[in-house]
Structure formats: C-alpha cells, structure tokens
Structure 1
Amino acid sequence: MSDIENSKKMALMAMEALEDRKGIDVHAIDISEISTLADYFIIANGTNSSQVQAMADSVQDALGRAGYLTKNVEGYESANWILLDFGDIIVHVFDSENRVFYDLERIWRDGKPIEKDNLN
C-alpha cells in the first residue's frame, strides 16, 4: 500500500470513529500539497467536553486496533481542542465554541476538502 493510500485509510477510519461518537460536521482536508505536517487534517466537533474526549478516545481506539499509534496528544484534559497526531493524519476534535473561533477550514483553505466517499 502506498503512503497516500495508507493516509486515506487512516483518514477514513478516523472519520468513521468520530461519526460513531456522533461527531458534528466531520471534515477532511488534504494538505499534502501545501504542508509537510501531514497528508490530511480531520476536523470535527462535539457538544460538550465528555463527548469531545469520547470522540478522541474512539479515534485512538480504532486506529490503534489497526496498528496506528498516536505520536502526540494535546489538549485532552481541557477537551476544548484535542489534537491527535498520527503522523500522516492529524485529527482535531473541538468543542463547538472553539471550532468556530479557530476556524481551521478557513486557515487551511488552500488545502483540498475531501468527502468521506472519496477516501475509499
């Protein structure tokens, strides 16, 4: 499997894990051509800190079972913006207020929005 196919697989798994925990407005942005940080950003939000943490846990569990380990986790305790760095993908799980405030989709608008169906 190529690196980009592997990244797509990881992104799809992350999106599904977020949706399983009722993540709101789950989006993927292909940043592979504009940044060396990762291939994809996955962005979602929850309605409260417990849901935000549950969403982050779900992503770590799903990707961990597939053999992908988290390289770094930021913000888990405060749960207003949890960042999960898996190397090829970075998952951002926000509470509603911080999702609007930081507006990563606007900041990374030079990336390509990717529909979940296009990751298969």
Structure 2
Amino acid sequence: MNNSKKMTTLAIKALEDKKGNDIRVIDIQDVSIIADYFIIASGSNRNQVQTMADNVEEVLGRAGYEPRQLEGYGTATWILMDYNDIIVHIFSEEDRLFYDLERIWRDGKNVDIDQFGNIDSKAE
C-alpha cells in the first residue's frame, strides 16, 4: 500500500471512529499536483468537528505523519489538514453545503471508501 493510500485509510478510520458524516474521497491525482486525495467529511457541531480533527491528527501522528498545515481549528466550520499527499477537509454541515467541494472537484474521481482496506493504525 503506497503512502497516500495508507494515510487515506488511516484518516477514514479516524473520521469514522468519531462518527464523521458522509465521508467522501476524491482522487485528484490526474487533475492537480497539490495532493493525491481529498478526504471530505462533516460533523454536526463544532465540538464534533474539532474532535474529528484531533483524532485524525492523533492517528496519523502515531503512524509517523505530521500535518504540513492545519487551518480553521478555532472556528471549526471548515478544518483543513494538509498532509502533502492527502488533504482532509472537515466541515460543519452548513459550510459543507455552501462550499460544495465535491462539485468544485468533480473532475477528480470519486472513490468508494470501502476500497481503502483496514490497517493497524499503530503499525509502522
């Protein structure tokens, strides 16, 4: 499993563990050089959005991945976590509808999250 797929798998698991809503993965490798995958999820309130971000950071950190950039944590309406190969977007439900990244990045390929297998987040 390559790095970006491993990171995506870990991020999905971390989001699911905190009851992230409508988790989507967009493969943007063929349309942009900024990352391989966008992971998009939403939470129902500010605390859940922050908890989801905390869990992603913790799970990826245990696996040796540190974010290059983290934005929006304070307001928790849209938290962007840039890990170079993947970018995690965690939205409030209202902001996700407003910004509609799925539409903006429609040239990317929607990927079924079930394609990302389970791996032990403590491994490696």
**Residue correspondence of structure 1 range 35-54 to structure 2 within 5 A:** 35-54=32-51
Q: Which amino acid aligns with 1:10?
A: M
Q: Is the aligned partner of 1:103 residue 2:100?
A: yes
Match of 2:61 in 1: 64
- The DSSP-based 3-state class of the residue aligned with 2:70 is strand
The secondary structure found in structure 2 opposite 1:59 is helix
* Alignment counterpart, residue 79 of structure 1, candidates 76, 81, 85: 76
Give the match's secondary structure for 2:90. strand
The DSSP-based 3-state class of the residue aligned with 2:23 is: strand
Which 4+ stretches in 1 moved above 2 angstroms?
A: none
The one-letter code sitting in structure 2 at the alignment partner of 1:18 is L
Displacement, 1:73? 0.3
Find out whether 1:14 has 2:11 as its counterpart. Answer: yes
Q: How far apart, in 1, do the equivalents of 2:43 and 2:99 lie?
A: 15
Query: TM-score of the superposition, structure 2-length normalised?
Result: 0.92
**Would you say how many aligned residue pairs link Structure 1 and Structure 2?**
117
Q: Deviations over 1:54-96 (max 9, x none)?
A: 0000000000000000100000000000000000000000000
Q: Which TM-score applies when normalising by structure 1?
A: 0.95
Q: Give the equivalent residue in structure 1 for 2:120.
A: none
What's the offset of the Cα at 1:119? 2.3
Identity rate, percent:
59
Gaps of 5+ in 2: 118-124
Q: Does residue 114 in structure 1 map to residue 72 in structure 2? A: no
SS for the counterpart of 2:35 is coil
* Structure (1 or 2) with the greater helix fraction: 1
User: Displacement, 1:42?
Assistant: 0.2
Offset of residue 115 of structure 1: 1.1
- CA deviation profile, 1:1-55 (whole Å, cap 9, x unmatched): 6xxx210110111011001000000010000110001000000000000000000
Extract unaligned runs of 5+ from structure 1: none
